[in-house]
Amino acid sequence: MKLQHIFSLLFGLSVVTTVYCNTEVDILNAQREAWKDPYNVLESWDPTLVNPCTWYHITCNSDNSVIRVDLGNASLSGYLIPDLGRLTDLQYLELYSNNISGSIPDSLGNLTKLVSLDLFSNHFNGPIPSSLGNINSLKYLRLNNNMLSGEIPREVLELIITGNLTEMNVSDNMLSGTIRNFKKRVTTITQDARA
Ligand SMILES: *[C@@H]1O[C@H](CO)[C@@H](O)[C@H](O)[C@H]1NC(C)=O
Ligand SMILES: *[C@@H]1O[C@H](CO)[C@@H](O)[C@H](O)[C@H]1NC(C)=O
Ligand SMILES: *[C@@H]1O[C@H](CO)[C@@H](O)[C@H](O)[C@H]1NC(C)=O
Ligand SMILES: *[C@@H]1O[C@H](CO)[C@@H](O)[C@H](O)[C@H]1NC(C)=O
Ligand SMILES: *[C@@H]1O[C@H](CO)[C@@H](O)[C@H](O)[C@H]1NC(C)=O
């Protein structure tokens, strides 16, 4: 009976944690826990603060909402949590040159203020989410040097015509299909996929 009580208490707590995982501190702290950080670059990420604006590698706007995550070349491994898609004011997600693996979460397509998505030189696999085609603000999409597969979604290519995408590099992946018709429209567009 007592043991059951403890179980339901623990269960209750985990539900509460899930329900209140709403602040940007909670989201980033959960992301930190999903990463391995051998050089402790995330040491300043104090989860007891009300916002993450004083943390290293984080930049906020005047409303104390996160607009940049700058963690390129930080020796991070692990994966990206879907909740990152709830950092709704994010403009720059800079995670290039790490050892991050797993897929690119579909939820990143919810980041409708994103200007730059730099995930190049990691170990990402799986497809490029078509949801990224929702991000009309996206200017720089650099996914090169990963293990991404499948075709580049039409929704993403359409950002070159209808959106703001001016630089896309998807080279050095395992992608298929062609992007020939879009080449003239962008400053830089590279991929090594044939046919
Ligand atoms: C990456 O980080 C390492 C270790 O901090 C540093 O020595 C190296 O210069 C960095 N490389 C780039 C391209 O910034
Ligand atoms: C990635 O991990 C490998 C070992 O699995 C290590 O040798 C390499 O230095 C790591 N690279 C970075 C950028 O952390
Ligand atoms: C975020 O993205 C996911 C996957 O694309 C979607 O299912 C979800 O409804 C989105 N959430 C919000 C709040 O837009
Ligand atoms: C596209 O870029 C222009 C110029 O930088 C900007 O004014 C506009 O708001 C952008 N569009 C979106 C959807 O962010
Ligand atoms: C595109 O990515 C490839 C592979 O990572 C890299 O060698 C090349 O320099 C990149 N192109 C541009 C224009 O940045």
Question: What confidence tens digit (pLDDT) does each residue in 143-192 have?
Answer: 999 999 999 999 999 999 988 999 999 999 999 876 654 544 444 455 44
How do residues 121-135 score in pLDDT, each as one tens digit? Answer: 999 999 999 999 999
Is the full-model pTM beyond 0.75? yes
Lowest average pLDDT, out of 20-29, 41-50, 185-194, goes to 185-194
* pLDDT tops 90 at residue 9: no
Pocket of ligand 5 (CB under 6 A): 144-145, 169, 171-172, 188, 190
Distance separating alpha carbons of residues 124 and 149, to the nearest angstrom:
10
Tokens of 140: 């720089």
How far away, in angstroms, is 18 Cα from ligand 5 center?
Answer: 40
Task: Classify residue 141 by its DSSP letter.
Answer: E
Q: Which token pair is 119?
A: 């995930």
Other CB atoms within a 10 A radius of the CB of residue 138 amount to: 26
Q: Which position has the token pair 């329900």?
A: 19
Q: Is ligand 4 within 6 A of the CB of residue 162? A: no
**Atom 8, ligand 3: residue with shortest CA distance:** 107
The rounded Å distance from CA 75 to ligand 2 centre is 7
Question: In the chain, what percentage of residues exceed pLDDT 70?
Answer: 79
